[in-house]
Amino acid sequence: MLVTILYRTEAEKRQHSSAIDILARDLGIDEDSIRPFYENELRELQEHARIRTFLSILVDRKVREKIDNGLAYIPPSDLSITANKVGRAQLTKQHRA
């Protein structure tokens, strides 16, 4: 079994944690729910990445794309979130149906 080291430095770990936080807030999804999905996408991209600086942007884009296209479902964490976030969460739910 091959173990992939996700974060080579503390700065890299903070960068991805921040990306997960922003993604979770934007989509109205609990961080703990989206983290495994994000980290799985990160592992896939890391296998071929020569430059790791922009991985958080690429992973964010892949996660959003898969959720928007109905290829992944992560339930919203709170239905009383702001109107903007609710609209986004409802849109992605309809997309998934």
pLDDT tens by residue, the chain, 97 residues: 555 688 889 999 999 999 999 999 998 889 999 999 999 999 999 988 888 899 999 999 999 999 888 877 776 665 434 434 444 444 444 444 4
Tokens at 67, concatenated: 């959720």
58 membership: H or E segment, kind and range: helix 55-68
Task: List the chain domain ranges.
Answer: 12-96
Instruction: State how far the Cα of 3 lies from the Cα of 79, in Å rounded to an integer.
Output: 37
* CA distance linking residue 38 with residue 97, whole number of Å: 22
